[in-house]
Structure 1
Amino acid sequence: MRGKIEKTDAEWRAELTGQQYHVCREKGTEPAFTGQYHAFKERGVYRCGCCGEPLFNSDEKFDSGTGWPSFWQPANPEAVAEKVDASHGMRRIEVVCQGCGAHLGHVFPDGPRPTGLRYCINSVALAFQPEPERS
């Protein structure tokens, strides 16, 4: 993992789309079933859409039926941080990128084996890098 990336609010606004800024910097959520990766099946790595840190692998992605990309574990546990989120009258665990602090989504204890976890991530918080073709 690279060092912590810190930018001003103005720098983030200039670099991100309006929806990316809302989700990643203001802790918003994209509507279910609207993100480009919720039903995406290609093999590769899902990186942070803000800083490029590798976060999740396609091998750990599964269809949770929730409308958001879901993973049963991060590619590197040190790449994500978990924080208590008590907003909206609920108690959830927020998932953020360790590299830049971007809000990614939430993790829930209702995922598949072997972890039993469901990392429910907003598509706009991710950038997909395809697996290189094998010759």
Structure 2
Amino acid sequence: MKKIVFLLCSVLLLSCNSKAQDKKEQKEFPVSKTDAEWKAELTDMEYQVLRKAATEPAFSSELNSNTRKGTYVCAGCGTPLYRSENKFKSGTGWPSFDRVIEGNVAFSTDNKLGYSRNEEHCATCGGHLGHVFNDGPKETTGKRHCINGVALDFIPEKDE
């Protein structure tokens, strides 16, 4: 009987998970809004991706095949994030870039799938953009910034 009680106590202790362990460190961003304000301003899919770190379906964004010259900005706050000359066709189903506009993208570690990935956020509003991988073009940076198209708006160059 003592062994059973000991075993049950051990299982309970090992399975304890406090709320403190669940909380991600919250970073302050220059643009900060309530959840209700974000919901009112964004489409449902923009909200799910930018604020809840969802992923849009592959090949669903018009921006995936966009080849016009211009700048890709955050759909949540308008911060310039990527330039068209740094976009490349990755075949993955999401807009891909080999570099960011320095200082406008923040990075964190995402372990939601059971392994670590480098997650990208807008440095101004904290909106989830996508992830960065090391399988990009070797002739440039070797990086593939795999970005949800719904997290972006495209601003064409003025002479386009």
- Common fold: TM-score over 0.5: yes
Q: In the TM superposition, what whole-angstrom CA distance separates every residue of 1:69-97 from its partner, at most 9, and x where no partner exists? A: 000001x2210011000002231110000
Work out the CA distance in 2 between the residues paired with 1:4 and 1:109: 29
- Higher-Rg member (1/2): 2
Is 1:126 aligned with 2:152?
Answer: yes
Question: What is the root-mean-square deviation in Å for CA atoms of aligned residues?
Answer: 1.1
Q: Match of 1:78, SS?
A: coil
DSSP-derived class of the 1:34 partner: coil
Q: Normalized per residue, which structure has more helix?
A: 2
Name the structure 1 match of 2:99. Answer: 73
Gaps of 5+ in 1: none
Pairwise CA distance, 1:32: 0.4
Whichever structure has more strand as a proportion of its residues is 1
User: TM-score, normalized by length of structure 2?
Assistant: 0.80
Structure 2 partner of 1:36? 62
Higher relative contact order (CA 8 A, sep 6+): 1
Counting aligned pairs with the same residue, the percent is 50
Cα shift readout 1:78-125 (whole Å, capped 9, x = no counterpart): 100110000022311100000000000000011013211000000110
> CA deviation digits over 1:32-81, x for unaligned, max 9?
0011111111110000000000000000000000000000001x221001
Q: Is the aligned partner of 1:87 residue 2:112? A: yes
Q: Which runs of 4+ in 1 moved over 6 A?
A: none
Query: What count of residue pairs does the alignment treat as equivalent?
Result: 131
The amino acid of 2:109's aligned partner reads V
